[in-house]
Amino acid sequence: MTLSNETQIFLDSQIEYYSKEAKSYKEMAEGYGIDSNSVPDATFGIIVGCIYSSFLQIYTNQNSTPNSQEMEEFTEIIIKNTQKIKTSIVSDDAKDQN
């Protein structure tokens, strides 16, 4: 493991936050006027982009850049949490229909 424990905890908190706020980001994606079938994928992209931006900001604040191993670990964390993020996007659909 190359990422510090603090960075991993921070990324977990970001994933948790953006998953809980998926509805807001879905509304943003809908505002782009894209095909409704593409909205969940666009929402996923927005959320991952926000998490990635936060990840890069950690390094910017330290006047550094992530190395290839750190980038790989970031990618693995996102892959590991993909289903959680996608479920949060889709679960909002189910809530809206009730």
Tens digits of pLDDT across the chain (98 residues): 689 999 999 999 999 999 999 999 999 999 999 898 999 999 999 999 999 999 999 999 999 999 999 999 999 999 999 999 999 999 855 444 43
Q: Specify the pLDDT at position 92.
A: 55
Distance CA 28, CA 91 (A): 17
* 3-class DSSP state of 21: coil
Q: Specify the pLDDT at position 97.
A: 40
Q: Is the entire prediction scored with pTM above 0.85? A: yes
Taking the CA atoms of residue 2, residue 8, residue 14 and residue 19 in that order, the dihedral angle to the nearest 10 degrees is 100
